[in-house]
Structure 1
């Protein structure tokens, strides 16, 4: 059985590794190509888009895919929507594996917003030195904010950027002590992040809590209605193994 895994997340790589060990399954992983030097999963890999819903549907048919797992970033809403529509048209089993979101704990100072635009607007009154950890996409929404920014991403952002910006190119996992030291070094007084969940980057939230720094937390977009969603790789693997050949 040939299976398509969408995404370059740690969950996608873990699932690809597990399935690649099974002689009954052939894995193809698809990466969007937005990261210049991605961590590649086990098995076959393709890079780039499909051309929307129709392009993905046709690709699934032409490559005899029997099931699709979307393990993309929780904020990759367009990819998830396209995959749900394409698999529905092709009559293929489809599921999403998505790590649980972070939740506030005592002493957290979260301001929860829905969009990047809302996050930029929320900065007024919260602080002047902003630690922006949303990745390279979407930084343009903060270009007109009158604050100093420390922007951390794997690759440099595209489009407009804040005039007062320090760019830090780095990728997780991060440690609490290092995150706290970074925030002190740059005199950070507000953190902006997406609710990605997971352990790789959660240290910044612990550091912000310990330092008493408010966090502007961007809420995840909803998954398409009716889609099967698993919160662990184990559950997604068991679901796949139950798909009729």
Structure 2
């Protein structure tokens, strides 16, 4: 708990729209806010308040930073698939006694007309691809391209803010672009590249959902990688508003 008269210091493990919105919502409050970004994207959009970019050096490094900077509240608002960082946050919270909240937007749910197959991993998606289509729109992030590098077929389209590095499928086209992308954009992209299967992670949210709507309209099959669970015992909020309510409780 913060000392008397000290409103406290919130560390947001960020990189998502929700992390930025939480920092914006707290901008005019006495609570001091620092957002940490992994630094994997060039020229990121910085939220208000303090920021730090780069890793902490594992659980011990994060715990040391929390202690040294007198962090009184910790919010894990990383990408739903940042499993390692979420584990580090949970363990650091245990070590320091700082309350932790996971901010996770709800996952996607298929609707009428959707042709979705849920898989447990990128490897499972790669195993299914040869029988699902010949022209793939791969939207699982540039960091996981090596999981598909062994596939000589099908042809892949990858869209990324920064050029991918490392192993990649031999039949690959990279489109450098920064979202969000509207429904008209996604319709045009799927048609222009003659996409017949879409691979995505269950990231949730509205920012990247138009590709799913466009796939439904075009009758395109979708492979959806399930998200990992939040570490056991960590309370969750499914919206910025819910997170703000929980933070009020932390400050009580």
Q: What is the TM-score with the length of structure 2 in the denominator?
A: 0.95
In the aligned structure 2, how far is the partner of 1:238 from the partner of 1:113?
34
RMSD: 1.0
In the aligned structure 2, how far is the partner of 1:171 from the partner of 1:106?
29
1:179 matched to 2:190? The reply is no
Deviations 1:86-108 (A, max 9, x none): 01110111000111000110111
Is the CA contact 1:134–1:153 (under 8 Å) kept in the aligned structure 2? no
In the aligned structure 1, how far is the partner of 2:220 from the partner of 2:197?
6
Deviations 1:201-245 (A, max 9, x none): 100000000000000100001111111010000111121122147
Q: Which runs of 5+ in 2 are unaligned?
A: 1-7
In the aligned structure 2, how far is the partner of 1:100 from the partner of 1:239?
17
- The ranges of structure 1 where at least 4 consecutive aligned residues each deviate by more than 2 angstroms after the TM superposition are none
Deviation at residue 171 of structure 1 after TM alignment: 2.4
Taking the TM superposition and a 5 Å limit, the aligned residue runs for 1:164-175 are 164-175=171-182
Is the CA contact 1:136–1:154 (under 8 Å) kept in the aligned structure 2? no
Q: Which runs of 5+ in 1 are unaligned?
A: none
In the aligned structure 2, how far is the partner of 1:63 from the partner of 1:81?
21
In the aligned structure 2, how far is the partner of 1:14 from the partner of 1:177?
26
Q: How many residues align?
A: 244
Map of 1:194 onto structure 2 = 201
Is the CA contact 2:130–2:154 (under 8 Å) kept in the aligned structure 1? no
In the aligned structure 2, how far is the partner of 1:8 from the partner of 1:193?
18
Q: What is the TM-score with the length of structure 1 in the denominator?
A: 0.97
In the aligned structure 2, how far is the partner of 1:163 from the partner of 1:37?
28
Is the CA contact 2:202–2:226 (under 8 Å) kept in the aligned structure 1? yes
